[in-house]
Structure 1
Amino acid sequence: MNEVIEFLQENGSELLLKSWEHIYISYLAVLLGIIVAIPLGIVLSRVPKVAQWVIGTVSVLQTIPSLAILAFFIPILGIGTVPAIAALFIYSVLPILRNTYTSIKGVDRSLIEAGKGMGMTTWERTIGIELPLSASVIMAGIRVSSVYLIGWAALASFIGAGGLGDFIFSGLNLYEPAFIIAGAIPVTILALLTDLIFSRIEKMVTPKGLKSTEKTA
């Protein structure tokens, strides 16, 4: 216990800074993924033939090792937070895109036809019918993406992007378990907190009628 207190006294301010860098890199990449993947998923739901090709391409990119993606962006974007965010953004897209596409396609067509009968435009049907009914599935994709990115962001340390990976790799290089633990535990806590936050948001955006249906199912 005394060793932990001593470590925090010596490195507490740096630990807070690295935690903030980790959150910034991860959450910004997720935000960019949301901005791109949700509208793209909605568009692709209208063109299933193109959708299979696009989702397949993104799935292939997802299989590329994260270190390789980071290395790929170095000649283009240099080192630091920008290439790290760009690489993490690529990994954030697939779960959100796939869940958005699947959930929009799964909306009961009779409800869409009812909206048409009421004179609703395509935009109004998307905002008023499709997105509310798909919100829980889309949020599930965002949750998965966010938790994965919190873990993968530790690798951003390799290209000078900072984050808690600095503690982990310093510990490995110096054979200091305290540094490894100081980096790994906050990453785990951040991942759990992120999952909790997005699970609460998922419940908030799920329509009440759908919630009651899920409980009785």
Structure 2
Amino acid sequence: MSMFLTYVGENWAYLLELTYQHIVMVLLGLVLALIVGVPLGIAAARYRRLSGLILALANIIQVFPSLALLVLLMVMFGLGFNTVVIGLFLYSLLPVIRNTYVGLTQVGAPILEAGRGVGMSSLQLLTKVQLPLALPFLMTGIRVAAVIAIGVATIAPLIGGEGLGREIYAGINMDNQARLYAGAIPAAILALLADFVLGRLQRRMKLGR
């Protein structure tokens, strides 16, 4: 433990930089997943014939081993930051799509009929009724996707990425436990913090309904 504390004290600026890089990769992957996943979730809820296909494709991506997927992406897009972000985007898709779909399908028919009764268009029903009611479900998807992405991002250095995984793999290769813990502990704290903060937001949304 003393070696770990000494290493952190001497390299705290570098570790903060790695943490920042880790967070940026995860956030970009999540944002892309929201941009693509929410419309796909809406399409799955609106067109039931498409729902099976959309969810099946997202499931296939999710169950693909993370390292194998990143290697395939590396072959297609090369080494580096962009490839890692694409991988995190793909791994974040399923929770976003599935929870958007579930949230929208949970809105009761009487509520929709009431909206149509006051003259709401399909777009108005979606934006003013369905999506606000589905937000707690969507937040669950974002919460799950964030935790998954933080974990997957630790293997980014294997395909030329940055982040806390650099310290983890340096610690493994050099048999240096201080460096291993210096990467693993902040990554674990990030995952716990993301789960806690997004969980609080989710509960607030449920209480506000």
TM-score interval for Structure 1 and Structure 2 normalised by the shorter chain = over 0.9
State the distance in 2 between where 1:4 and 1:73 align: 34
Find the counterpart in structure 2 of residue 155 from structure 1. Answer: 155
SS of the residue corresponding to residue 46 of structure 2 reads: coil
Tell me the C-alpha RMSD between the 2 structures.
1.3
Find the counterpart in structure 1 of residue 172 from structure 2. Answer: 172
Maintained 8 Å contact 2:4/2:181: no
1:75 shift after superposition: 2.5
Alignment gaps of 5+ in structure 1? 211-217
Maintained 8 Å contact 1:62/1:94: yes
State the distance in 2 between where 1:151 and 1:82 align: 17
Q: How many residues align?
A: 209
Find the counterpart in structure 2 of residue 103 from structure 1. Answer: 103
1:63-90 deviation per Cα after TM superposition (whole angstroms, max 9, x unaligned): 1111111111113211111000001111
SS of the residue corresponding to residue 206 of structure 1 reads: helix
State the distance in 1 between where 2:172 and 2:16 align: 20
Alignment gaps of 5+ in structure 2? none
TM-score by length of 1: 0.92
Q: 1-10 vs 122-131, which deviates more?
A: 1-10
State the distance in 2 between where 1:54 and 1:173 align: 40
State the distance in 2 between where 1:28 and 1:162 align: 14
2:134 aligned partner, one-letter code: S
State the distance in 1 between where 2:2 and 2:66 align: 37
State the distance in 2 between where 1:66 and 1:10 align: 33
Find the counterpart in structure 1 of residue 28 from structure 2. Answer: 28
TM-score by length of 2: 0.95
1:25 shift after superposition: 0.6
Find the counterpart in structure 1 of residue 127 from structure 2. Answer: 127
Find the counterpart in structure 2 of residue 77 from structure 1. Answer: 77
2:76 aligned partner, one-letter code: I
Q: Any runs of at least 4 consecutive aligned residues in structure 1 with deviations exceeding 3 A, and if so which?
A: 203-207
